[in-house]
Amino acid sequence: MKIIMIGSHLRTTGGITRVIKNYLQGGLGDKVDLEFFPTYYGSNHIINILYFIKQYLKLYFNLVLFKKKYDIAHIHMSYRGSFIRKKYIIRLLNRLNIKIILHMHGSEFKDFFNESTDNQKKEIKDTLNKATIILALGEQWKKYYQTISKAHVISLDNAVFPKINNTLPEEKVYITTMGVLSNRKGTYDLIETALKIKGKIDPKYKFLIAGDGEVEKVKSKVKELNLEDLFIIPGWISDQEKIDEIYRKSIIYVLPSYNEGMPMSILEAMSYGLPIISTNVGSISSVVEEDNGFIINPGDTEILVNLLIDLLNDQSKIKLFEENNRNKISEKYNVYVSLDKIVSLYKSIL
C-alpha cells in the first residue's frame, strides 16, 4: 500500500504533531509504503502561506504532471487555518479518485462550524463528505461528525507509548499541566485554585504549568496574587528528556479545559501512572473514569481544590490510580495497538 500522510511539519508543537510522531516512531513506515507530506510550517502567517503554496504546487505537480500514485491519503485536520489548507488538498485528491481518511483533531471544531455563515457551513460539510472515512477522537466526536457529514465515521482513540516510572513517592512534587496557557485550557482556573489551596497542602508541592501561549500574562497574574512560591512556569519545553523528567516527578496531572478533543497530554500523563483531574469536555470522560481520576465541570475551582487536597492526602488511592492508568495505556491507548488498527483500516478501504 502506498500511503501519503498529510499534516503539520514535525518542527511544530501540539497534539497533532505528537500523534504523527508517535505513528512514525511506532513503525507505521515499516508496515506500509508511507510518505509524510507537511503542509504547515508553524512560523509567522506569511511564511505559513508561502510554505503551503509551495507544498500544494509540489503535490499538484507530483500527482497531475508526474502521475505519482497513492492508494490512500491520510490527512490530519483541525479547524480554521488547518481546514482552509486541507480543503484545497482534499478537492485535488478527490478529483483524482484517491481515497481519503480525514483524521479530525480540532478541539474547537464545533465552535468553528457554529460561528460560520450558512455558505461556509455548506463548504465545511461538502469537504467532510469527500472523505472515504472520517476518524473521530472518541465516541462523542464520532456522534458529532455524523450530524454534519454523510461520510462513514469511525472512532479512533489517540495513543501513546507505555512507560515505566520508578520514581519514589517522596520525589513526586509537581501538580502538572502541559499545553497552551490560556483561558480555554483553564490556566487561570488553576491560578484561582492555587490561591484557594495555599496553606492547605504540603509546601513541597508546586503547580507546574508548561507550554506556550500567554506565558508572560500568567506569570504576571501569579506575581500579582503573591503565588510565586506555588508555581513553576518554564514556558514551552521541546526537550523530551526534560518532559520525561517532569512527568516522572509529578504526582497529579490536572487539565481544567473548556473544550478538547482527546488530549495527548492526558494520555502521556497516564502512561507515567499519574492520576488525572480534568473536565467533562470532548472525549475526556471516556478516558478518565472512576478508577483512574476525576472529572469536574469546567470552572469549578471549589471541587478542584477539594479533590487535590483529598488526593494528596491519600497515597493508597494515588497508587491504585497509577496501576490502573498504566494498564489502560498498555491495553487500550497503546501506540502499537493503534497502529494495527490503522493498517487494518487501510486494508479494509482498499
Q: How far, in Å, CA of 105 to CA of 74, rounded?
A: 13
Q: CB of 133 within 8 A of CB of 102?
A: yes
**Nearest CA-CA partner of 263 in 106, 154, 82:** 106
Q: How far, in Å, CA of 100 to CA of 73, rounded?
A: 5
Residue 39 confidence (pLDDT): 97
**Nearest CA-CA partner of 100 in 57, 55, 70, 123:** 70
Query: What are the extents of the domains in the chain?
Result: 2-159+334-349, 169-331
Residue 154 confidence (pLDDT): 97
Residue 190 confidence (pLDDT): 97
Domains 2-159+334-349 and 169-331 share a fold: yes
105-138 core/surface letters (b: 16 or more CB in 10 A; e: else): bbbbbeebbeeeeeeeeeebeebbebbbbbbbbb
Residue 28 confidence (pLDDT): 98
Instruction: Show pLDDT as tens, one digit a residue, over the chain (350 residues).
Output: 999 999 999 999 888 999 999 999 999 999 999 999 999 999 899 999 999 999 999 999 999 999 999 999 999 999 999 999 999 999 999 999 999 999 999 789 999 999 999 999 999 999 999 999 999 998 999 999 999 999 999 999 999 999 999 999 999 999 999 999 999 999 999 999 999 999 999 999 999 999 999 999 999 999 999 999 999 999 999 888 999 999 999 999 999 999 998 999 999 999 999 999 999 998 999 999 999 999 999 999 999 999 999 999 999 999 999 999 999 999 999 999 999 999 999 999 99
Fold of 2-159+334-349: Rossmann fold (3.40.50)
Tell me the CATH class for 169-331: alpha beta
For residue 3, list its beta bridge partners: 34, 72
pTM beyond 0.85: the answer is: yes
Residue 261 confidence (pLDDT): 87
Residue 1 confidence (pLDDT): 92
